Amino acid sequence: MTEHNHVPDTPGDAAASATNDTNSAAGTTEGTQPATRSGSDAVNLAAEQSKNTAGRNIPALEDLPVTADTANLRLGPNLHDGLLALLPLVGVWRGEGQADTAEARQYSFGQQITFAHDGENYLTYESRIWKIDEEGQPGDLDQRESGFVRIDLKDNIEFICTHSTGAVEILYGTPVNERAWELESASTMVTETGPATLGPGKRLYGLMPNNHLGWVDERVVDGELRPRMSAELTRVVG
């Protein structure tokens, strides 16, 4: 992965854009000027963006005898009160990113992330990634992740993440503010065929000034924390 910290609002800086000004609806990015969007402008932007997403939801079997998952806060069960600090994440997000891994080196990818709930006190999480070729077209399927996100009354976040590559990871963290969440891996288990190079790391999720979801995954390589994957995603459901 190449430069991240000299270009404002890049995927690698995505969550940082929401961390430096907790009172700003748009946030700032370290090393850049604060965004100037007012609170009313942010609300208007969100309303405009929701015109194409508010009526959509993830598919569910109609004959399921229990409450189905929903990624749309307007539909399905009410969000559990304990999840209010994670409310902005609920939805389906889709976009593109960059990866620089020990296994595959640098490549571009497409991604869809789903944060959903069923009325209980946790979010379900699913990520699908596919590679993008040199012509910008979808290529081979890449890694997948699934898991659960929980948060307690003191805003301590637990993220249990299972990787299709053969790893299970537990991350802990806290909200940075109402628009950003930071997590650090506390425990990682790898199967016999899993990635030998997946070291401990940190993830940062945040809403950017344009209300897109940005995230960056950093991993320890040779004793140094380095960006491994990052993306900027647009809401497509919710």
152 vs 36, more confident: 152
Give the pLDDT band of residue 193 (cuts 50, 70, 90). very high
Cα(18)–Cα(28) distance, rounded to whole angstroms? 6
Is 79 part of a structural domain of the chain? yes
126 vs 38, more confident: 126
Is 230 part of a structural domain of the chain? yes
Map residue 223 onto helix, strand or coil: coil
Give the domain range for residue 142: 67-237
Structure confidence by residue, pLDDT tens digits, 133-183: 988 999 899 999 999 999 999 999 999 999 999 999 999 999 999 999 999
Give the pLDDT band of residue 37 (cuts 50, 70, 90). low
The CA-based angle 189-173-9, given to 5 degrees, is: 105
Radius of gyration over alpha carbons of the chain, in Å? Answer: 18
Cα(208)–Cα(52) distance, rounded to whole angstroms? 19
Average pLDDT over residues 15-29: 40
29 vs 132, more confident: 132
Q: What percent of the chain has pLDDT over 70?
A: 82
Tell me the β-bridge partners of 237. 92
Tell me the β-bridge partners of 9. none
Average pLDDT over residues 87-114: 93
Tell me the β-bridge partners of 87. none
Give the pLDDT band of residue 32 (cuts 50, 70, 90). very low
The total number of structural domains that make up the chain? 1
Pairing of strands 213-221, 123-132: unpaired
CB 129 within 8 A of CB 139: no
Cα(125)–Cα(121) distance, rounded to whole angstroms? 13
Please give the structure tokens belonging to residue 150.
């929980």
Is 100 part of a structural domain of the chain? yes
Is 171 part of a structural domain of the chain? yes
Is 57 part of a structural domain of the chain? no
Is 141 part of a structural domain of the chain? yes
Please give the structure tokens belonging to residue 48.
């405009």
**C-alpha to C-alpha distances, 136 to 27, 93, 191, nearest whole angstrom:** 30, 19, 33
Q: Which residue's structure tokens are 């508010």?
A: 54
Is 18 part of a structural domain of the chain? no
CATH number at residue 120: 2.40.128.20
Is 133 part of a structural domain of the chain? yes
Pairing of strands 167-177, 91-101: unpaired
Q: Say whether pLDDT at 92 is over 50.
A: yes
